[in-house]
Amino acid sequence: MAKKIIPNLKMHRFETTLMGVLKGVADYFGIVVSDAWLFGGSGHAFLINIHEKLFPSGPYVWKYDAFYKLVRNLGISMTDLGYFRAKSTPDERGKVEEVLKRSIDAGIPCSLLNMENQLISGYDDTHFIVEQPWPKDLAITPKTLTFQTWKELGRRMHINFFTFDKTRRADDETIIRESLRYAVDMTRNPDRYEERKEHFHIGLGAYDVWIKAIEDGYGTRHGNLWNGTVYWECREMASRYFSEIASKCQGNISKKATELSSQYKRLANLLDKARDKKLADNDKVKTLQEAQRSEECCINEIEKFLNIYTGVLDQNDHSH
């Protein structure tokens, strides 16, 4: 049996599986990046995306174009090979499988997104070898993907495939500036990032949708726990991202970044509370209302931070 494996390609065990894939790719490429810098620099630390019925798919169904540009700043180019449903033909599947095999042969990391993001680390005569994001062996995160049939995904398959290349990394100033502009723009102009036809909502409006879903009786379902878990992790990483920014800056900029780190830590704690299955619905609603106010305050402060930060960068450019 022929077997081709990309050595040392492993998923990182984040709740946010997209980041688990990216950290695995960064490690494989020898890109030294902290967890917080990966979440923050890619902008993912600032995402919140909620379905009107609080489905657990919020963290996955949004427009990725601006995210891909930010990931490129971190030294990784991510290419989407297309979207496939259960009705895709064996010929269509065969074509994308050939691209994946050629990539693996060349030592190029690949991944899939079906229910979760997973790295594809190799293949043998009958199937792809897929990395699982967590120690638990879950049906939604299969270890293999059988050629042509993709039978492990079941009847409700909806899958994307990706490849990754190493690219030139941007400087820290560019990473900070562009990731924070993205955070603000996602909040101020959510329609640029939302899959509205699928009933998902991004930014501050996501909290209104989340609250209404709880009032409609969805608060005790898995979607509340899962959305809360992913966005809790994201805001926790946003807090750590601003700590790192503070350590790279001086004076008033450093002080403002430290304040933002504290504000995001507080927001993370609120989301951690809201995801609790045992918390009464009315307490969930109050917690999310507080989280929404906290998020709005954070974004307002990021705008102020950007004004100071870009002003200093412009001064430095002129003085050189």
Distance, CA of 291 to CA of 131 (rounded, Å):
34
Q: CA 2, CA 148: separation in Å to the nearest integer?
A: 18
Q: What is the mean pLDDT of the chain?
A: 95
Residues 220-248: tens digit of each pLDDT: 999 999 999 999 999 999 999 999 999 99
Task: Please report, for the chain, the start and end positions of each structural domain, with discontinuous segments joined by +.
Answer: 4-32+76-166, 172-314
- CA-nearest of 54, 49, 50 to 220 is 54
pLDDT digits (tens, 9 = 90+) for 75-95: 999 999 999 998 999 999 999
Instruction: Please give the Cα distance from 211 to 218 (Å, whole number).
Output: 10
Question: How do residues 172-181 score in pLDDT, each as one tens digit?
Answer: 999 999 999 9
Tell me which residue has tokens 């688990």.
20
What are the tokens at 285?
Answer: 């609603």
First-last CA distance in the chain:
61
CA 21 to chain centre: 10
Whether residue 32 contacts residue 127, with contact meaning beta carbons closer than 8 Å, is answered with no
Residue 282 has pLDDT above 60, yes or no: yes
| pLDDT of residue 7 exceeding 70 | yes
Return left, alpha or beta for 126; rule: phi > 0 is left, psi -120 to 50 is alpha, else beta.
alpha
pLDDT computed for residue 55 by the predictor: 97
Q: Please check the confidence at residue 314 and state whether its pLDDT lies above 80.
A: no
Distance CA 263, CA 241 (A): 12
Q: Above 80 in pLDDT, residue 54?
A: yes
Tokens of 159: 């899958």
Q: Which neighbouring-strand residues pair with 164?
A: 78
**Does the predicted TM-score (pTM) go above 0.85?**
yes
Q: From residue 52, how far is each of 68, 150, 202, 275 by CA, in Å?
A: 26, 30, 11, 16
Q: How many CA atoms lie within 13 A of 30 on its CB side?
A: 1
